Structure 1
Amino acid sequence: MLLSASALASERGADWQIGPEIRGKNYSVGVPRVMADSDDGPAFVFPADPRGQVKYVTRETGSLANARSLTIRYRIDASEGTRFVANERPSSPAMISLYFQRRGDNWSAKNRHASYRWYSVSDKTLPLTPGEHTITLNFRDEWGAVMGAQSRGNPAFEDALENAERVGFVFGWSGGRGHGVHATGPARFTLLDFEIR
């Protein structure tokens, strides 16, 4: 079932899980398990401690086999001088990427599970900066799998779309899309719109 922009804009923050949670452990640290409700949409505050990090923000979805694109519109409010830091590679720009995941992923990234998680490629990611931003990615554009496989002409990509379980966005750097980000000062992320067409 496809989720419309208007439906998602009115949904509760609790529909958006901050994680990932794998075998009972949440790998985002220093943030709640779900986004909070706000007047403008679901929101969270970035951890301002280098020991904290936000990695994946996802919600359940059905099959994406008939979908054409994903669009996210979001706003980052941050105090002056606040920087965003990729925990794994602090010297690289901290980025946001679109993301979806196939049902049945065991998070090993091995064998068939190496193509269960798909991320927007470099030209469809954005460095984290204050302000309002939009990213749109067509499902016929190039996507990258967790272990580097490309989507174009790849049956595993089509299988992941058909059997999609979660969709959303991740924080990290260009070489580790969902490997975590923190801020150096007060900073808030608000999801203004998330559309599956």
Structure 2
Amino acid sequence: MTILKPIRAAAGGLILLAACGVAAPANAQAAANVAASEWTIGPIINGRNHSRGMPLQPTPGRNGAWHIDLPQAPGSVHYVTFRHGSLAGKSRIVMRYRIEAAPGVRISPRGYPQWEALLTPYFQRRGDNWSAAGRFETYRWYGTFASKPMQRGEHVIVAPLTANWTALERSTAHGNSAAFRDALAHADEVGFVLGGGDGYGHGAFASGRARLVVTEFRVE
């Protein structure tokens, strides 16, 4: 079960956001320009990939960069993650990226073409069962304080792991610090989500040709 969360959209107005998740296996690696082949465009839940019309992995580029060509509707990109392992002792996530698109091309949340999509840093605790029920409500965490509208140009996201991250329903890192510490210690997937409209990770699409180029992603 997912509970909708109200937030203020970049273009103004109150909309509802919910969280959705992604799964994968565990190998603890430090992330500094993790190879494109290590990333997954998902989430894959019960054998179904919720990113529609997309390859499983990003396309490698030069100097460790990689890119995703954003689809047009009905395609969408939801979660982009890799297997990092525990975040214990880590202090922040840093992401540098650019969005390439022709003037007038809009990147919107799936089902909400009138809004701008958001990009949000994310991590998931190992062993999530996707229910968001009971203790599993605190297995997926979103750096909503660092969300950025998906607009053309160069961008940097810095998401301290001491900030007030948001879980699936009502929990926050500051309000439920024990659960957040446990999630950091037992983290598995790390990355970012695209969405807006009715969910931070509920997907985004472009109205024309658009590319998301990640030039750096570090867990420090």
TM-score normalised according to structure 2 size: 0.83
Q: Describe the superposition over 1:79-122 as per-residue Cα deviations: whole angstroms up to 9, x where unpaired.
A: 2210011014333321000000000011111111111000012x
Does the 8 Å contact 2:194/2:201 carry over to 1? yes
- 2:87 corresponds to 1:60: no
1:153 CA drift (Å):
4.8
Deviates more, 1:84-93 or 1:50-59: 84-93
Does the 8 Å contact 2:31/2:84 carry over to 1? no
Does the 8 Å contact 1:71/1:137 carry over to 2? yes
Does the 8 Å contact 2:146/2:157 carry over to 1? yes
- 2:71 corresponds to 1:47: yes
| CA–CA separation in structure 2 for the residues paired with 1:172 and 1:58 | 15
Query: In the alignment, which residue of structure 1 is the partner of 2:30?
Result: 3
Q: Describe the superposition over 1:129-167 as per-residue Cα deviations: whole angstroms up to 9, x where unpaired.
A: 111100001111110001131111521111100000000
TM-score normalised according to structure 1 size: 0.92
Does the 8 Å contact 1:18/1:35 carry over to 2? yes
| CA–CA separation in structure 1 for the residues paired with 2:103 and 2:116 | 18
Percentage of identical aligned residues: 39
Q: Which amino acid aligns with 1:42?
A: W
Q: Which amino acid aligns with 2:157?
A: I
- Alignment coverage as a number of residue pairs: 191
CA RMSD of aligned residues (A): 1.5
Secondary structure of 1:73's counterpart equals strand
Q: Describe the superposition over 1:50-93 as per-residue Cα deviations: whole angstroms up to 9, x where unpaired.
A: 21100000000111011000011011111221001101433332
Task: Mark the runs of 5 or more structure 2 residues left unpaired by the alignment.
Answer: 1-27
Q: Which amino acid aligns with 1:145?
A: A
| CA–CA separation in structure 2 for the residues paired with 1:139 and 1:158 | 10
1:4 CA drift (Å):
4.6
Secondary structure of 2:59's counterpart equals coil
Q: Which amino acid aligns with 1:66?
A: G
Query: In the alignment, which residue of structure 1 is the partner of 2:23?
Result: none
2:159 to 137, 143, 148: 137
Query: In the alignment, which residue of structure 2 is the partner of 1:97?
Result: 120
Q: Which amino acid aligns with 2:134?
A: N
Task: Mark the runs of 5 or more structure 1 residues left unpaired by the alignment.
Answer: none
Query: In the alignment, which residue of structure 1 is the partner of 2:41?
Result: 18
